[in-house]
Amino acid sequence: MSKDANNKQFVTEITPQGEDFSRWYIDVIKKADLMDYSPVRGCMVFKPDGYEIWEHIQQELDRRFKETGHRNAYFPLFIPESFFQKEKEHVEGFNPELPWVTEAAGEKLEERLAIRPTSETMIGHMYSKWIQSYRDLPVLINQWANVVRWEKRTLPFLRTSEFLWQEGHTAHETETEARAETMQMLDIYADFVENYLAIPIIKGQKTPSEKFAGAVDTYSIEAMMKDGRAVQAGTSHYMGTNFAEAFEIQYLSRDNTLEFAHTTSWGVSTRLIGSLIMVHGDDRGLVLPPKVAPTQVIMIPIGPPKTRDAVVGRTDELFRELKSAGIRVRVDDNPDVRPGWKFNEYEMRGVPVRLEIGPRDMENGVCVLVSRITGEKKIVQQANLVEEVQAMLEQVHQEMYDRAKQFMEDHFYSVNTLDEMKASMEEQRGFTLAGWCGSEACEDTVKQETGATSRNIPFEPGEKKTTCLVCGDAAKHTVLFARAY
């Protein structure tokens, strides 16, 4: 079999989403060369394209954090066991996932060290040293780091034993200031995910059983994947004075009295990469949002060998124009691979825009732009190429968002009873809105009977439910339920 035939088979062997969505997901991320499995169970290797997506996410979020006064710092990977014991609810929430270091340099440690699952305890300890007066507040710090949670079931990008994230930790004088910070960061996440990743989300508050261990209140943004399951795309937590009391983060107030600081934490992780793959991908492979795509435009010169040098020369000139305009662009002028194979390859890799140019295009001063999301071909003047490419990138982003939004609306259901929810879950995929009395027992019943969990209590549910779907009592909340990753 020829090399070209082998390559063509590589591109086309993707399990259809409708046949096996999980298999499709693994096929796509492997064939698109985003990651590879490591020899350590539950851990993965980011290959350059996969890591570059994360870099673009990181750079944009980092810019937004700094615009709101936050600064980056870094805290240790290892956390003494005694730190976790200071905040009981926190350690109980993480204990099943904690890996421990018990020996180093051939000697048993006097105290076990946890490998960071999150940094509230370490940062709480440090803040207690740094904060003495109201003049030291607020403290607005973010950390880009890796964390470890020893997951029993793993899925690349979405749930791995080690993953990359950012975690913001702030301390404030008052509850009002801390709650404002909590909501500000939730809004930053929501705006970023919708306007940068083209993923529609639902903002709301977590139920008490689903909130972050040790938090007073947890808020989330929830996104719908193409198999109808939910992914918690970001969270923001108001911690009250729980960690301040546990770690003695006290300050001398304006009234000259000792007070505990009010703290927050908030974070997103590399599960955003898994989310954008599952929200936008199709049976041809990846569909990458232009703002995070490693390559936004792939240029493919075409035509017979006798015109090759002239076409490639003009392609290189146009390449330099696009690159100087800040567009992430590549040229594939490999003469040993047919254009048709290249078209399939870069579609599979999710490149938002393809640019084709041949000898006749050169004569007419035009080239062809092709949208990954719609397949639309547009003949454009080379003189206006930068503006035309920028416009198509914006169009691709909007089309991606609109399609994902429509999908979520088409798979959003409302029920009044548990039987209705069970029937709905068996017959169709998606999110379900229902009333809830506030009882943990009723929430547990929903999970046991349907496999769905409460995702959040939406700020804007669309309709207000009046009765609990389980017990029939008056509903205290209208809740979003879904099966989730």
Ranges 19-33, 79-93, 293-307: which has the least confidence: 79-93
pLDDT in tens, 227-278: 999 999 999 999 999 999 999 999 999 999 999 999 999 999 999 999 999 9
Going by pLDDT thresholds of 50, 70 and 90, the confidence category of residue 12 is low
Which class would CATH give 15-280? Answer: alpha beta
Class of domain 412-482: alpha beta
The more confidently predicted of residues 9 and 440 is: 440
Distance of CA 81 to the CA centre of its chain: 30
Q: Angle at CA 427, nearest 5°, toward 425 and 433?
A: 40
Distance CA 399, CA 418 (A): 36
Rounded (10°) angle between helices 418-427 and 440-450: 30
DSSP reduced 3-state for 407: helix
**Single-letter amino acid, residue 17:** Q
Q: What is the pLDDT of residue 96?
A: 75
Nearest to 166 by CA among 191, 139, 147: 147
Residue 330, C-beta contacts closer than 8 angstroms, at least 6 positions apart = 295, 297, 298, 299
In one-letter notation, the amino acid at residue 61 is L
Among residues 133, 123, 130, the alpha carbon closest in space to that of 258 is found at 133
> pLDDT tens digit string along 282-295?
999 999 999 999 99
DSSP 81: H
pLDDT score recorded for residue 93: 62
**Quick one: pLDDT band at residue 152, thresholds 50, 70, 90?**
confident
Euclidean distance between the first and final Cα of the chain, in Å? 40
Strands (E), 131-195: 139-148, 162-172
Cβ atoms within 10 Å of 376's Cβ, excluding its own: 13
Residue where the block lists tokens 């499995």: 37
Max Cα–Cα distance, the chain, nearest Å: 85
Residue ranges of the domains in the chain?
15-280, 297-395, 412-482
CATH topology of domain 297-395: Rossmann fold (3.40.50)
- The token duo for 319 is 């390449």
